[in-house]
Structure 1
Amino acid sequence: MMQTGEAKIRWAEQYMPVLREIRERFIKEQPLAGMVIGMALHVEAKTAVLVRTLAAGGAEVHITGCNPLSTQDDVADALRESGVHCYAKRACTLEEYYAAIDSVLDAKPSITIDDGMDLIHRLHTGRRDILPLVIGGCEETTTGIHRLKAMAAEGKLLFPVVAVNDTPMKHFFDNVHGTGESALTAIMATTNCLIAGKHIVVAGYGYCGRGLATKARALGARVFVTEVDPRRALQAHFDGFELMTMREAASIGELFVTTTGNIGILTEHEFALMRDGAILCNAGHFNVEIDIGWLETNAEAIGRRDGIDSYTFGDRTIHVLAEGRLVNLAVPKGMGHPIEVMDLSFAVQALSTEYMVTCAKDLAPGVHDVPSAIDEQIARIKLASLGCAIDTLTAEQAEYMSSWDVGT
């Protein structure tokens, strides 16, 4: 009988036609031959399909997790059994987490693929001996790109990195539909609570927050949005959501979901205002948005079960999902983004890796956009797999759109 991890990978593969087509070409052309790729990603079934695609292109792949709670151990085992160097395990300590990152770097990668920038951070701070061997990298998520841009602004990022997250394909589908659906699915599977009729507070109205708010409303929730950016706040207002400060929302919400990527979104000040029984979770990359440290120090932990930690203080109890980590992957039943969404995102990763192998020598150290041709190619492959046809510009239309001297 097929082992569980391998069965999960096979299940994912059948719903990833874009990555499958890329793999078929990679097998023929071997564009990654001779490359050692070091990866720190969420090690689960869809990621395994990406890993095998890169290996099919000729790369030697070494991978670990990018979050202590997001690895699926059976998938990690399946990767190891198929010859991939995988160092990830679920529920690892921070010491084990960074030891695994060091194991990836011990392989002396020529390309890095990150989700959150921990691999690149370790390279530049503790493993600088490896830096001369790295020709470039790819970064998967918003949080990692924020860190990379800050690093580049200080002149400390020493090789080029493609911002995979900053493409239309990633924003429109991964962030909106992926985070929106997977976070709510994980919340419902963990709590068994109804979304319909619930007061849900979404912190942050970027692409992830927007997707989450929209899908929660579609399930019948009353959604409140908090923001610091006036343009995104105005967008939330015109999209029909109730906009307010977090201090105002704290006493109204029954379920809170943070999507900002910033620290200190839910702190002791908000905890003191919350309803008894409020549920808190995070859909941002790092576990910094909810002040878990304050709860552990100042509240009484009254129980842990199936991804829920409950704390009581004063006359109220609040519940935190997944220890404040990425809820769609870190709860026991978290499966991450839907397969079809990750087919698109990991296709961008695969082709961006190929681009980096080909073009890194021409790129300066810093953060670079994914070429729009790659994004468009992936969209066309996906449309073809769906049997969808689109129009093509005529020569006259193309000329008109590229001209400047045609007026009224």
Structure 2
Amino acid sequence: MTPDDLPNVSEVNLAVERAIRLAARSGNRLIAASTASVDLDPGPVRTALVTAMRAMGARLRPIGDEVEFSFVESVTGDLDSALRSALGTVPQPGAGLPTLVVGLDGSVRSPRGGSAASRIAWAAAGMPTTARLAEHLVAGGSHAGVRVAVSLVLEPKTAAFARVLADAGCAVAVFSAVSETDPSIAEELARDERISVFAPRTADREQSAKSLDAEHAAGILDWGPEFLIDDGAHLIRLAHSERTAALARLRGAAEETTSGVRPVREMGALGDLRIPVIAVNDARTKTGFDNLVGTGQSCVFAIADVLDDARDRRPYGGIAGTRWAVLGYGPVGQGVARFAAALGADVVVVERDPVRALAALHDGYEAATRATALPEADVVVSATGVWHTLDAAAISTLRDGAVVAVAGGIDDEIALDEMRDAGWRERLIAPSATAWTAPAAPGAPTVLVLAGGGGINYTAGEGNPIEVMDLSFATQLAALARLIETPQEPGVHRLSETDERRVAAAALAALQGGVDPSPGTTRAGGAAQPWTVHRYRARGPEPGAAIAEAPKP
């Protein structure tokens, strides 16, 4: 083989990246834990695709097996009969989703329709764990007529979740901010007379976002919820500050995010929290999946989608070979690093916690100060959930053409307000991509800020994949059932391990996984033997003598 016969590695990597992103985007699907087959001839493309999918956590299956993703040369070619039958109508809610067939030439075949109604139905079909937990809520019997307010990014999955609550007999209202709402989904959800929608629709665009959000936030609290599923604790804080009348009826809340749990804990520490709040974000079935896997995948893919769509304004060669600086190595930062690296990025982590920085090194990434990492980065991702993580001074150290995005995110995680005050000029160059140029000075950089500094996955994409939100919504249902059935004292509470296990068992069953039965020991600490059995006993027990058990408390 001569050098001319060797494949162009960058073209191979870009083709593989685009195929994987297309697979995820076409059905808002999760790669991790998915099953996939690769019907490609042996060669560099097949090798690169298999390697990337495995690095993202996919389970590879033989060609012909029933899978969630099937990669082929072209969808226009012949398909296996089993795949043909899978490409039928969208199944019933909770029944699981059919195979997506993705061609390396950019073709795709998916039964998900483009209308708001079909996208909601598709999301509902992909949430079997939520459906199972809803059955438990109904079986509890104390939920009927309970008024539940949902404050989450309003896209197909949230709409499907709201309908699950309504189907379970709850009175439901949904709030979402202008920047976090798909107006077509809000319109479709509002057609369901069981659900009150406090979110922007197409006709609301004449009103400013700030005034519309304030109106809707006040409106959903005035609606009189007994329980609140919140995102960022914005409505919890509003009820404790400016709309305190809502507290007369509000019996508890479940908080979805890290950025929301932080202020709620502060409220509790100061004695200002007047309701019980379950920190759903801290549940093992939420943070370890939604934050780590779901947000990691959706943010990396959304960044690439935005840059790829803008390729007529600036070249896009793919993630492979680029240098990414990830600020923050909590679960979201870990996920971003994992998925960027799976597609060939060189990742450096910036962390203030030495333990997390050390963990980044052991995960195979570099760990450096921002002074070292930022000037060398092609892409900078803030994954801290902290206000002004990237201030104007930090942005000014970036190289010309660097890309900046937020994963997860809170308001003003990138200090765009500070940049405007300092004289930076902004210019929209593509949907969800704005070029910011520093005030005239030698070497002044122009950087590309994505999604207006908002969370890239839900601002420029469809948010986290269906499968991971299925797990989060099921965890929310477990928290809601706990609040309804077992009233708690005001304060911040963890979801019980029993509830976590119940959610995880339902999700595991949906994925056709197994778990070894627990031995069920009742010893404190879970030891398999009494504490008196140890390595350095001078002699064994007397013949026929029982080994002493630890005294019962």
TM-score, scaled to structure 2: 0.70
Structure 1: distance between partners of 2:169 and 2:533:
50
User: Distance in 2 between the 1:132 and 1:43 partners?
Assistant: 27
Could you say which residue in structure 1 is the equivalent of 2:191?
81
Map of 2:179 onto structure 1? 69
- 2:260 aligned with 1:133: no
Are residue 39 (structure 1) and residue 150 (structure 2) matched? yes
Q: Distance in 1 between matches of 2:478 and 2:229?
A: 12
Q: Identify the residue that residue 550 of structure 2 maps to in structure 1.
A: none
CA contact (8 A) 1:27 1:56 kept: no
Instruction: Tell me the CA shift for residue 117 of structure 1.
Output: 0.6
Distance 1:3 1:278 in 2: 34
- In structure 2, the residue matched to 1:377 is 502
Check whether the contact 1:40–1:101 (CA below 8 A) recurs between aligned residues. Answer: no
Matches within 5 A, 1:349-388: 349-360=476-487, 363-388=488-513
* Counterparts of 1:38 and 1:382, CA distance in 2: 25
Matched position secondary structure for 2:178 = coil
The 5 A counterparts of 1:161-310 are 161-192=277-308, 193=316, 194-297=318-421, 298-310=423-435
Q: Secondary structure at the match of 2:411?
A: coil
Amino acid at match of 1:379: A
| Secondary structure at 2:245 match in 1 | coil
Aligned to 2:272: 156
8 Å Cα contact 2:137-2:477 kept in structure 1:
no
Q: Match of 1:58, SS?
A: coil
Structure 2 CA distance for partners of 1:102 and 1:403, relative to 1, 3 Å: farther
Q: How far 1:168 moved relative to its partner?
A: 1.0
Deviations 1:93-139 (A, max 9, x none): 12211211111011111111100011011100001112121111100
Q: Distance in 2 between matches of 1:143 and 1:403?
A: 43
Contact 1:29–1:57 (8 Å) recurs in 2: no
Instruction: Confirm whether residue 318 of structure 1 aligns to residue 318 of structure 2.
Output: no
Unaligned runs of 5+ in 1: none
Tell me: higher relative CO, structure 1 or 2? Use CA pairs within 8 A at least 6 residues apart.
Answer: 1
Q: CA deviation at 1:29?
A: 5.3
Q: Could you say if the C-alpha distance between residues 368 and 197 of structure 1 is closer, same or farther in structure 2, counting changes exceeding 3 Å?
A: same
Q: Distance in 2 between matches of 1:113 and 1:336?
A: 17
Report whether the alignment pairs 1:104 with 2:189: no
Shift in Å, 1:22: 2.6
Is the 8 Å Cα contact of residues 53 and 350 (structure 1) preserved in structure 2?
no
Secondary structure of the residue aligned to 1:129 is helix
Deviation at 1:381, TM superposition (A): 0.9
Q: Deviations over 1:301-344 (max 9, x none)?
A: 2334311111112442111111111110112xx01111100000
Does the CA contact (< 8 Å) of 2:381 and 2:405 recur in 1? Answer: yes
State the secondary structure of the residue aligned to 1:389: coil
Distance 2:261 2:491 in 1: 11
- Range moving further from structure 2, 379-388 or 17-26: 17-26
Structure 2 CA distance for partners of 1:388 and 1:299, relative to 1, 3 Å:
same
Greater Cα radius of gyration, structure 1 or 2: 2
Q: Structure 1 residues 404, 119: closer, same or farther in 2, change over 3 A?
A: farther
SS at match of 1:147: helix
2:97 is aligned to none
| 8 Å Cα contact 1:31-1:58 kept in structure 2 | no
Instruction: Work out the percentage of aligned pairs sharing the same amino acid.
Output: 33
Give the C-alpha shift of residue 374 in structure 1. 1.1
1:16 maps to 127
Question: What is the match of residue 343 of structure 1?
Answer: 470
Q: Tell me, in whole angstroms, the C-alpha distance in 1 between the residues paired with 2:246 and 2:520.
A: 50
Count the aligned residue pairs: 402
* Secondary structure in 1 matching 2:320: coil
Q: What is the match of residue 102 of structure 2? A: none
Could you tell me how far 1:19 is from its partner in structure 2? 1.0
Q: Is the 8 A contact 1:30 1:58 kept in 2?
A: no
Cα deviation code 1:10-54 (max 9, x no counterpart): 111221111122334545655421211122111111111221121
Contact 2:387 2:410 in 1 (8 A): no
Letter of the structure 2 residue corresponding to residue 355 of structure 1: R
Q: 1:185 & 1:244 partners in 2: Cα distance? A: 24
Counterpart AA for 1:175: N
Alignment partner of 2:325: what SS? strand
Q: Is the 8 A contact 2:133 2:503 kept in 1?
A: no
- TM-score of the two chains, using structure 1 as the length reference: 0.94
Q: Give 1:114's aligned residue.
A: 230
Partner of 1:389: 514
CA displacement, residues 375-400 of structure 1 (integer Å, 9 cap, x when unaligned): 11111111112222221134579874
Offset of 1:226 from its aligned partner? 0.5
SS at match of 1:156: coil
Report the CA distance shift for 1:392/1:231 in structure 2 as closer, same or farther (over 3 A): same
Q: Return closer, same or farther for 1:396/1:227 CA change in 2, 3 Å cut-off.
A: closer
Separation of aligned partners in 2, 1:30 and 1:305: 51
Q: Deviations over 1:71-96 (max 9, x none)?
A: 11111112111121011127761221
CA distance in 2, matches of 1:381, 1:365: 30
* Matched letter for residue 411 of structure 2: N
CA contact (8 A) 1:26 1:56 kept: no
Shift of 1:3: 7.8
Residues in 1 aligned to 2:140 and 2:449: alpha-carbon distance in whole angstroms: 48
- The structure carrying a bigger helix percent of its residues is 1
Tell me whether 338-347 or 350-359 shows the greater mean CA deviation: 350-359
Q: Kindly indicate whether the alpha-carbon contact (under 8 Å) linking 1:174 and 1:345 is maintained by their aligned counterparts in 2.
A: yes
Give the direction of change, closer, same or farther, for the CA distance of 1:395–1:20 in structure 2 (3 Å limit). Answer: closer
1:154 and 1:287 map into 2 onto residues whose CA distance is 23
